[in-house]
Amino acid sequence: MRRKGNAPIGLIIGLIFLVIFGVLVYLYNSSLFEREAPQIALDKEIEWNLKEPIHMQVTDNTGLRFVRATLSDGEKSVVLDTKEMKNPEKMVDFNLSFPKTGFGANKKIFELTIEAVDASKWNFFAGNESRAKSVIKVDTKRPELSVIGSSYKIMKGGVASVIFRAQDDNMKSLYIETNFGKKFYPTPFHKEGYYISLVAWPSHIDNFSATVVAIDRAGNISKAHLPYFIQDKKYKNSTIALEDKFLDGKIADIISEVASERSSLGRLEKFKYVNEDMRKGNEAAILKVTSVVPTKPISDFYLKPFYPLRNGKVVASFGDHRFYEYDKKPVSESYHLGLDLASNAQSGMQTSNDGTVVFAKENGIYGNNIIVSHGLGVYSLYGHCSSYLVKEGDTVKAGDFIAKTGLTGLALGDHLHFGMYVQGVDVRPEEWMDEKWLKESITSVMESAKKIIDR
């Protein structure tokens, strides 16, 4: 009998423990009792201009119950913001403003403390707590910025220079903004705190304005407008009637040589593909290479006028807007981004200035294509080469022969397509072939600026 009566009691006790254990395991693993503390996104050090609020964010996977931000100067503490939530929130954003009262005006260093508690039942229902601290450095001083010298004018499609001084203990970014969205980046010049940059006005943009912008880590901004004289220039519009000979010859050849997967397209579609899609890809490749601006400080930048092809006759000019027709109907359009020069077939082409070969390969409509970097974001480009005399990575000296002219890519006769680029923008090659322009726009500006800097 005893045995019979005891067995169920032992079993029941065992079952009760099992159930309690099961409930504990369940609770331990359930989100109600999760043990992950809230995440506080806060930099260890923040420079603050006291104007824009400090933005910070706290997140928690179960939800936040309480978040508080406190600012202290070592003596006094001021609560900047508190949030207590009846319904837990997974994310809390704070935009913290400096308190109007509470601290002395001359305090520059503070400590910001963020405390956050989540809605977990862990810790005897108290929840998980996080705390993060940040050192706040008050910086309300704008960067010092002044233009030391600049070229007098900029022509549509052309280039101008600027030399300026920019100084701040916490400088974050320095650039020249333009009315067309492009930013130009300066190179350190001559002495600490001085910079030089070239700026370019794209030939298809109607107006030009540029402003040097200096921003420190606290967000203080200084700006200096560049007062160039703006010189308009008209570029040519031309209409070209497409001939079957050209479509079935050159265009069909380019397709079969570098885009054979498009061979099934019709003859006009092939032309559209070459003139639009292929061109876009080729120009993107050029943009990528020519956008690089050296950051090593320079004290001099001197270029001789470019003269890439001896006795080269101009056969097409820079900036031409070309409209293509077939059977008197518009088919496609494009801009010509260089100067075409022709001499005898397979003439040697020279680089007139020292540099580094940064590109030497087949590039669609540009055919065999060489790009040389001359420093300060200035690049010269040579298209349609029949053969290369240099390779990528080579250093070239002024006067070196780098390739031979030809008709690779979208070229009908043997010629050189000569292009100049400044920080990725195609610019008028004529300026870079003009000794007077180089002197007035770059060399003299630099020499006068150095006199001022050295004073």
Taking a C-beta distance cutoff of 8 angstroms, is the pair 57, 114 a contact? no
**At 11, phi and psi to the nearest 5?**
-65, -45
Question: Smallest gap, in angstroms, from Cβ of residue 338 to Zn ion?
Answer: 5
Nearer to Zn ion, 156 or 417 (CB): 417
Binding residues vs Zn ion (CB under 5 A): 338, 340, 417
* Rounded Cα gap, residues 184 and 186, in angstroms: 7
Nearer to Zn ion, 33 or 307 (CB): 307
3-state secondary structure of 17: helix
Question: Smallest gap, in angstroms, from Cβ of residue 316 to Zn ion?
Answer: 6
What is the end-to-end Cα distance of the chain in Å, rounded?
115
Question: Smallest gap, in angstroms, from Cβ of residue 262 to Zn ion?
Answer: 22
Nearer to Zn ion, 130 or 334 (CB): 334
3-state secondary structure of 366: helix
**Nearest partner of 173 among 203, 143, 197, judged by Cα:** 143
Question: Smallest gap, in angstroms, from Cβ of residue 297 to Zn ion?
Answer: 36
Nearer to Zn ion, 282 or 350 (CB): 282
Nearer to Zn ion, 180 or 335 (CB): 335
Question: Smallest gap, in angstroms, from Cβ of residue 364 to Zn ion?
Answer: 13
| Residue with nearest beta carbon to Zn ion | 417
Question: Smallest gap, in angstroms, from Cβ of residue 243 to Zn ion?
Answer: 19
3-state secondary structure of 218: coil
Question: Smallest gap, in angstroms, from Cβ of residue 165 to Zn ion?
Answer: 40
Question: Smallest gap, in angstroms, from Cβ of residue 340 to Zn ion?
Answer: 4
Nearer to Zn ion, 60 or 340 (CB): 340
Nearer to Zn ion, 340 or 414 (CB): 340
* Rounded Cα gap, residues 369 and 23, in angstroms: 74
Dihedral sign, CA of 250, 252, 256, 258? Answer: positive
Nearer to Zn ion, 374 or 417 (CB): 417
* Rounded Cα gap, residues 39 and 364, in angstroms: 51
Nearer to Zn ion, 168 or 340 (CB): 340
Q: Which long-range contacts (CB under 8 A, 24 or more apart) does 316-320 make?
A: 316/340, 317/236, 318/157, 318/203, 318/235, 318/419, 318/426, 318/428, 318/429, 318/430, 319/157, 319/203, 319/204, 319/233, 319/235, 319/236, 319/428, 320/235, 320/236, 320/237, 320/238
Taking a C-beta distance cutoff of 8 angstroms, is the pair 370, 388 a contact? yes
Question: Smallest gap, in angstroms, from Cβ of residue 190 to Zn ion?
Answer: 37
Q: Taking phi first (over 0 means left), then psi (-120 to 50 degrees means alpha), and beta for anything else, what does residue 124 get?
A: left
* Rounded Cα gap, residues 207 and 220, in angstroms: 28
